[in-house]
Structure 1
Amino acid sequence: MASIERIADIFVDAQDASINHKSLTKRLRRVEAQNENNRSRFEEQVKACAIRCLEVTKSEKAGQNTIKFLCSYCAATQNQEHESEEEDGTNITNQIMVVLLPYMSVKDKVIRYRATQIVSQLMGIVQEIEDELYQAIRHELGKRVRDKVPAIRLEAVCALGRLLENEMDEEAQAAEKERDEDEEMLDEDEEPESTGLLDKLLNVLQNDTNAEVRRALLLNLPIEPKTLPYLLERARDKDAGDFRHLSLSMREKLLRWGLRDRDERVRKAAVKMFATMWIEQIARTLQQTDADQEETLPKLKKGEYYKADTVALVELLERIDILNAGQDDGVGLEAMKEFWSLRPDYFRVVSFEDSFWTDLSAESAFMARSFYDYCSKNPNAQRQAEDDQKFPEVTRFGFHLQRELNRALELRGSVEEEVEEETLAEQDFIAEQLLHIAHTLDYTDEIGRRKMHGLLRQMLSVPDLPDEITRLAIETLRLTCTSDVAGEKEFIFVVQEAIAEVHDSLNDNEDEEQDNGTNREQSPADDESFVSAHSELSTRSDATARRKPSKLDKKLAKMTPEEQEDYQLRTLLVQLKCLNIAHTMLQNITSDFSTNVSLETMLNTLIIPAIQSREAPLRERAIECLGLACLLSPSLAHDNHEMFVYCMKKGHEELRMQCLKILCDCAVTHNKDGGLDLKPFVEAFGYSAEVQLCATTCIAKLMMCGFYKPALKTAEGGEEQEQEGEGDEAVEVFENAIEEATQCGTRGCELLAKVKAALVADAQGKGQVEGDRRQS
């Protein structure tokens, strides 16, 4: 009996999201196997759960998820029956349809719709069905094609389309058998007699007032001599197209191409398409479900919209796959920015009560994130949102954020059940959206600031926290600290504490002596002092050959090969995690390394040993961190210039481009007074096309940042004279680099020529103005 009671709990879990249905189906199948001797009781419980779905309105996503799960379970039983040649699967599916048949004719349109929907979907699953039940279902579906609710008619014609295919096959077999027995052949121009079901569906295709119903029949009717004229007639249907007919990739492309087009008229049309046409089609469908008849819907005047409904907005975001479109390179934020601007009715109706935060989906979380992002960039919108109390209290929001972060970690640490990647991705996405929202909050409330500060500090020390969530958490942590020097020191101290705790997670299972002996990154150069990264890279092989076995070597010697591989992988992941935290921290500070001892310590104990590591991912990430550190310290940039040049020459393609960008950024930041060295960029012309393009782009950037100063020409005495200055040598260096790129046919050389021409024209224009003034 206890296992029987678990059936309802399984259906409750199924209504939350469809991505867990596979594991829930397995659970329900296990319960079914455990109650083989009490099968009738099990089937009654399943049918009771199916009946409970009938009261759920179409707009409720939970109802759709539960029906999907029910069909998934029935499909699994069908497959089991087919493999084992048993009849249990057919029985339970048939019994559910028998129970639902009376509900297809009730007065309540919601129950009528759900019953028709479930039967329609089960008809696509069932492999065998009793003739009496088949005729009863066919009769009820035939009545539903004349239902006053379009959504019910749509489900009915989809189910009848499946039955039509079976009946036409049976008719063809019967005709063939009759021809064999009687040896009678039809004339070439004579058509076989059609079934009554086909005539009924053709009549619906001609006369139904709903475009969705007509389109469903176009997709389900077979192309035959009798149906072809009707199908061609519908091909000239003037009903406006619904964007939901497009594939998911086409919707995303249409939106992305439109919003990012160079023509302003195209961008405006794309905004109108998204914020009016698409959302209104969904809103109309939702209100049409609530109306008794399609004709009872209000007839809108030009410029009027259907009643704003956040359910419609959430569905719109789901229709464009916001889980992918909402990423940094996606089009989701661009679209929603225009949406909130163009649709103030939705801006007013959206609400963020506690119930909203406790039941988040990827779409609702992104909706909230886009709303607060829009408010943060529009003072008027922010004032209106604050007046309507739409901004959450920071302390309360901290608890919501903590709950979602804990859910993400629980899913990653779950060992009892197999967690699908989609579930992890959705939960991570929700946590990311809440952290984006945290960027827009006001931390003048000290209690809320402390709550967020402590939460983020605690989460940063968790090694399993995904990298993107870690990055957003560090950026939010910086906002919870004051913007002055003291606040930055506090921020650096907290982040470095988190790095130490993440690294110490490697030694959780070791004794105190081992823990003390491995409290910093293990690398081949642990026992040697750091002179420069370049010198260490050039002598690493000799030093490695001479050094004595370390404690790490002794520990690995005691392990099996599998344990060694597992430990080394875990070590690599933890070290990468530490570098990722350090990388994000360096992006959010302005302190010079020479004035902050803790930063210098992190450089010597974390970044430099990782550069000296044998592991390529560690070296590459550490070089990025060192590049950020060099931007903060002129002396550090000068000391490591040769190291970046060395890595550019000896590294692979990605590392070469990374080092070129670092050299360029360091030059822009620290070499304002001259002394620019373009040799590494010119040498890069001899590598791959991607590296060449990176080098020419960096040179163009340096030229536009003021390093290339062509001599001004002034008009004195009616003749143009060239002004000589101190920049002649720098100009010559750039001229030689441009000439070298042109001669070698380097990718991107056209860019250098265009930048040079623009800068020369600009300089000449300024010089001509000065000359005219002096002449006058």
Structure 2
Amino acid sequence: MSTTAPTTTRSQTIARLSTTIPQIFNEAQKPDTVLVRFSVSLRKIQEVCSLNTPAVPGEPQDFDYVGEEAFHKEFIRNGTDDMDEDMTGDQDLDSETISSRFVRVLMEHILRGLTAKALAVRLRCCQIIALSVSCLGELDEDLYQNLKTALFQRIKDKEAAVRIQAVTALSRLQSADEEPDEVDGLTIGQNEVRRVVLMNLEVTQQTLPYLIERARDVDAINRRLLYSRPLAEIPDFRMISSEDRYRLIKWGLSDRDAKVRAATGKMIADHWIKQADHNLLEFLERMDVMEGMEGGISEKMLASLLELRMSSMSIKFDAQFWDNLSPESAFLARVYTNVLHSNKMEEELDDVLPEVTRHAFYIQHYNNLWQQASKDNESDYEFIVAQLLGIGKRLDYADEVGRRKMYSVLRDIILVPDLPDDHVGSLVDLMSLTAMDECDFTRIMIDVISDIQEHADIDEAEVESSSKRVKLDDFAVKEDPTTETDPKILQMMLAKLKCLNICKFMLERCEQASRFNNHSTLLIAYTYNGKEVVLREEGLHCLGLVCHLDKDLALHNITLFEHCVRNGHEELKKKALMILFDLMMKFGYPTVSEKMNNTPKLFEYCLDNESLEVQYIASEGLAKLILSRSYKDEETLRLLVLLYFFPTMVDNSKLQQCLAYFFPAYCHSSSDNQQAVAKVTMQVPEELWFCIILHPFYYYQIAIMTLEQLITTYLDLEDGEKMVAPTTIAEMLTHWTDPRLVAEYRRSRDEVDMGVQGKMAVQIIDVLDGLSAHDILLRKVLCHMLPKLYLDDIDQETLTTIINRAKTLDDERPIFEAASRNQFNRVIRHLETLQVATGIREMDTVDNNPTSTRESSVSTAATAPSANNTNVVAIEEPLTSPQPPSQSSSPEPATTSPEPTPTSPEPESSSMQPTTTAAPDNHKDSDSSETSSDDDDDDIDEYDSSS
């Protein structure tokens, strides 16, 4: 009797499954429902259907596989025959439980939906897996592998929502024993997908390299999230290598986004400092601040921490502190005084700084320890002396006794052989503070240089006999290293180099010419006669600094600098070229170029140089000259445009960043500059000059010819070479020459040539008329460029010319490619409508004012870019005036520079290759026959994440 009752109850429960389970699911969807209650009910039904007898702890369970299968079928609601599998044939059923078998059946069924065509099915299946996988417990190995395989396929889905759910599920399936897949997850193109990975990825030694890469993510939110979540929650920041640690801090604190900088500072001040028990010295010791001194990263890190925690800190430096300095404490003292000085906290600064005399003794004491230290401790004392010299810049030298003592100590230290360059610079800074004025400072430094020469036994007579200006005949630029190994000669060479360094630091801090500079000039000229390449380079640098202070000396040595650019080795070229550009900016291009031989040819030579650094320096210098309107040359401007897009320049990030700022700033600063780019982007062949004379439209064909040349280069690319897509180049040329983006346009449209792109449109049609059937790419790019041009404000003559030539082209050489033909026809229909509207306005003007001439009645038809009204009175189809591309949507290349540009979007990508967003189509047509065909409706196409 006791056995029959449960059996009857189980049979009734199984029979009522088709009504019981749907009822539970319907009730669970109501608002304010307690889902736990329904979960318990489902569990009870599952146990009744699956067990012949109630479960007893510690005893094996008696399963009813038929009832369990009935529950699974009703739960999943799958009426196909695929579920009619014989569960009694499974192996190791005794080791499984009701829940594990239910999970396997449910997951296998959901996996089938991951490859469904419908987006909603794929999305919900991925979402169910993502929500369930964290509470499933231990999974069967086969099911685990099937889940991973299916989810890895979905992270390449074309829909971002599916990819987000897929990576969420994968992040919860991750195992510490498995190697991460660097292609998937963090490198997916969608920002939101990478964000989900960052939030869910476990921080291990295997995943750290991929997390660090996200510090250069193009999305600012992802960069901020990296610093505020995984890196902040890392158990010990020493898991990250010292090099990577300082790279992360440098990128975070130098990020162009303020929120990223704030997240980086908060990570350091709120999280990492906790790992050192809020002990600053312990924290600095763990951070290894001496290794992060290059580029000032350590200082920036500590300054950020101090500024954030300044209100909760109380730092005092007593005598015991100064007597027992370590590298970390000395570094803390210097940065803390700098922070107080930058925040103008003078009272606090006076409390922590020692007197000038006492500080001089501290410098002297630790310098003596440095000179006597063993090799193990030498670097520590060297670092401490450098920090003390930095602290000395914040002292008040009104105390005459302290000033004299400091000067005496500094003079003794600067005479020490083998002094690091950083120390020399700090010593010169302090000596300038102890000097009475600039003339006194120059005299002091000249005396120091003389003492160094005497100690090295340098023949002063030989120095005085050197000429003020180096004769070019005696100037040898080829490297001829000496084979001398005499210690005395080596000592003399090092002494000369030290003298040049001191001279360089001195001249960098001088603002006017001095009679003592003659001695410096003689010293510099003397170094040219030597064989040492390093001395020649430093001597040339110092000569350039002297020339900045003396115009006559600068003009006297222009030919020397030009000779170094043309014939010197790479380092000498770079220094001489920078000097020339600096002199042009200071004394004016006409003044300097008078002393040079064919300056434009020299610039062309530098832009075509094999050295990427020389190309960058030349481009930067020319950009400054052109932006300042000091220099105008059409050929040079053409070379800059070609250089910007040329395949060999794709990896030259410095040049790309420089020109990415220059071209928008130059083109949009004035209408004349914009017309110059439209005209001179390509040199016109000699046989076309007669066309320019006869037809002014040909004066604007040079921009189109540039595009032709770059497309030819694009078609000739070899394997492994990269170049910007021609359509991207066309959009960027269109953006640069858009008259609505010129600065004067905001003040008055009368000051802007609104028809600059109309003349370009004429040339596009003429080029299309001359293309052969094989010029498919050029025809496609030109037809793609044509709708991007702003043609609503062109004059009547240009408008008529475009329409007439377009009709001739359509009759004689029609475009057969469907997409290109549609774009071309859309523009022509727009212009024809514009012509009708212009004619109607002319008639209305004549009727209202018969005395007015026809010339005064012809006006532009387009509305201002900021307006939304139409420019048509009575036309056959609506014609809205296009909005100009905003500055934020500028199709300019992204940059890793921290400085934002006013006319291009701030760079979000670690790659410097020019990229673009689609330029607005200024002539959209509502005709459905002109629209492109719909995309393939197969939603299962995988998303291409290679970009």
TM superposition score category, shorter chain reference:
0.5 to 0.7
SS of aligned partner of 2:260: helix
Please identify which structure carries the higher helix content. Answer: 1
TM-score by length of 1: 0.52
Q: What corresponds to 1:738 in structure 2?
A: 640
User: Which one of the candidate residues 597, 613, 617 is aligned to 1:694?
Assistant: 617
Contact 2:477 2:569 in 1 (8 A): no
Matches within 5 A, 1:295-310: none
Distance in 1 (alpha carbons) for counterparts of 2:636 and 2:241: 51
Instruction: From the superposition, tell whether residues 608 and 244 of structure 1 become closer, same or farther in structure 2 (CA, over 3 Å).
Output: same
Instruction: From the superposition, tell whether residues 539 and 480 of structure 1 become closer, same or farther in structure 2 (CA, over 3 Å).
Output: closer
User: Which one of the candidate residues 426, 438, 459 is aligned to 1:472?
Assistant: 426
Instruction: From the superposition, tell whether residues 744 and 577 of structure 1 become closer, same or farther in structure 2 (CA, over 3 Å).
Output: same
Amino acid in the other structure paired with 1:600: N
Number of aligned positions between the proteins: 440
Q: What corresponds to 1:326 in structure 2?
A: 293
Matches within 5 A, 1:571-650: 571-592=492-513, 596-604=514-522, 606-650=523-567
Q: Is 2:507 aligned against 1:532?
A: no
Amino acid in the other structure paired with 2:399: D
The Cα offsets for residues 316-375 of structure 1, whole Å up to 9 and x where unpaired, read as 111111112133x04111111111111125642x22111111111111110001001111
Q: What corresponds to 2:348 in structure 1?
A: 384
Contact 1:401 1:434 in 2 (8 A): yes
Q: What corresponds to 1:423 in structure 2?
A: 377
Q: Is 2:438 aligned against 1:488?
A: yes
Contact 1:456 1:477 in 2 (8 A): yes
Q: What corresponds to 1:760 in structure 2?
A: 667
Amino acid in the other structure paired with 1:463: P
Q: What corresponds to 1:365 in structure 2?
A: 330
Q: What corresponds to 1:569 in structure 2?
A: 490
- Offset, 1:696: 1.3
Q: What corresponds to 1:665 in structure 2?
A: 582
Distance in 2 (alpha carbons) for counterparts of 1:660 and 1:652: 12
Instruction: From the superposition, tell whether residues 771 and 246 of structure 1 become closer, same or farther in structure 2 (CA, over 3 Å).
Output: closer
TM-score by length of 2: 0.43
Identity of aligned residues (%): 31
Distance in 2 (alpha carbons) for counterparts of 1:263 and 1:252: 19
SS of aligned partner of 1:495: helix
The structure whose RCO (Cα within 8 Å, separation 6+) is larger is 2
- Offset, 1:521: 5.7
Distance in 1 (alpha carbons) for counterparts of 2:641 and 2:622: 13
Matches within 5 A, 1:221-620: 241-283=235-277, 312-327=279-294, 329-344=295-310, 347-348=313-314, 350-379=315-344, 381-386=345-350, 389-411=351-373, 419-420=374-375, 423-482=377-436, 487-507=437-457, 518-519=459-460, 529-537=467-475, 565-592=486-513, 596-604=514-522, 606-620=523-537
- Offset, 1:453: 2.1
Distance in 2 (alpha carbons) for counterparts of 1:240 and 1:459: 45
The Cα offsets for residues 169-192 of structure 1, whole Å up to 9 and x where unpaired, read as xxxxxxxxxxxxxxxxxxxxxxxx
Q: What corresponds to 2:35 in structure 1?
A: none
Amino acid in the other structure paired with 2:570: E
Distance in 2 (alpha carbons) for counterparts of 1:645 and 1:352: 54
Distance in 2 (alpha carbons) for counterparts of 1:665 and 1:322: 36
Instruction: From the superposition, tell whether residues 752 and 256 of structure 1 become closer, same or farther in structure 2 (CA, over 3 Å).
Output: closer
Amino acid in the other structure paired with 1:279: I
- Offset, 1:279: 1.6
Instruction: From the superposition, tell whether residues 746 and 660 of structure 1 become closer, same or farther in structure 2 (CA, over 3 Å).
Output: farther
Instruction: From the superposition, tell whether residues 672 and 247 of structure 1 become closer, same or farther in structure 2 (CA, over 3 Å).
Output: closer
SS of aligned partner of 1:762: coil
Distance in 2 (alpha carbons) for counterparts of 1:399 and 1:603: 35
- Offset, 1:706: 4.0
Structure of higher CA gyration radius:
2
Contact 1:395 1:447 in 2 (8 A): yes
- Offset, 1:733: 6.2
Amino acid in the other structure paired with 1:534: L
Distance in 2 (alpha carbons) for counterparts of 1:629 and 1:444: 31
Supply the RMSD in Å over aligned alpha carbons: 3.3
Contact 1:502 1:578 in 2 (8 A): yes
The Cα offsets for residues 265-300 of structure 1, whole Å up to 9 and x where unpaired, read as 3322221121121222211xxxxxxxxxxxxxxxxx
Instruction: From the superposition, tell whether residues 759 and 321 of structure 1 become closer, same or farther in structure 2 (CA, over 3 Å).
Output: same
Instruction: From the superposition, tell whether residues 534 and 743 of structure 1 become closer, same or farther in structure 2 (CA, over 3 Å).
Output: farther
Instruction: From the superposition, tell whether residues 384 and 672 of structure 1 become closer, same or farther in structure 2 (CA, over 3 Å).
Output: farther
Distance in 2 (alpha carbons) for counterparts of 1:316 and 1:535: 59
- Offset, 1:769: 5.0
Instruction: From the superposition, tell whether residues 440 and 278 of structure 1 become closer, same or farther in structure 2 (CA, over 3 Å).
Output: same
The Cα offsets for residues 655-713 of structure 1, whole Å up to 9 and x where unpaired, read as 211111111111111116666544433211233223222221221232334425xxxxx
Instruction: From the superposition, tell whether residues 271 and 391 of structure 1 become closer, same or farther in structure 2 (CA, over 3 Å).
Output: same
SS of aligned partner of 1:701: helix
The Cα offsets for residues 1-23 of structure 1, whole Å up to 9 and x where unpaired, read as xxxxxxxxxxxxxxxxxxxxxxx
Amino acid in the other structure paired with 1:342: L
Q: Is 2:587 aligned against 1:680?
A: no
Distance in 2 (alpha carbons) for counterparts of 1:577 and 1:410: 22
Instruction: From the superposition, tell whether residues 770 and 469 of structure 1 become closer, same or farther in structure 2 (CA, over 3 Å).
Output: same
- Offset, 1:762: 1.6
Distance in 1 (alpha carbons) for counterparts of 2:545 and 2:663: 29
- Offset, 1:540: 12
Distance in 1 (alpha carbons) for counterparts of 2:324 and 2:445: 31
SS of aligned partner of 1:695: helix
Distance in 1 (alpha carbons) for counterparts of 2:461 and 2:387: 34
Instruction: From the superposition, tell whether residues 521 and 442 of structure 1 become closer, same or farther in structure 2 (CA, over 3 Å).
Output: farther
Amino acid in the other structure paired with 1:364: S
Matches within 5 A, 1:130-169: none
The Cα offsets for residues 590-629 of structure 1, whole Å up to 9 and x where unpaired, read as 122xxx332112212x100102211111111111101111
Distance in 2 (alpha carbons) for counterparts of 1:502 and 1:758: 49
Amino acid in the other structure paired with 2:508: Q
Instruction: From the superposition, tell whether residues 493 and 753 of structure 1 become closer, same or farther in structure 2 (CA, over 3 Å).
Output: same
Amino acid in the other structure paired with 1:698: G
Contact 1:333 1:370 in 2 (8 A): yes
- Offset, 1:535: 4.2
Distance in 2 (alpha carbons) for counterparts of 1:441 and 1:521: 41
Amino acid in the other structure paired with 1:265: K
Gaps of 5+ in 1: 1-214, 216-238, 284-307, 412-418, 508-514, 545-555, 709-729
Distance in 1 (alpha carbons) for counterparts of 2:639 and 2:555: 22
Instruction: From the superposition, tell whether residues 756 and 479 of structure 1 become closer, same or farther in structure 2 (CA, over 3 Å).
Output: same
Contact 1:366 1:430 in 2 (8 A): yes
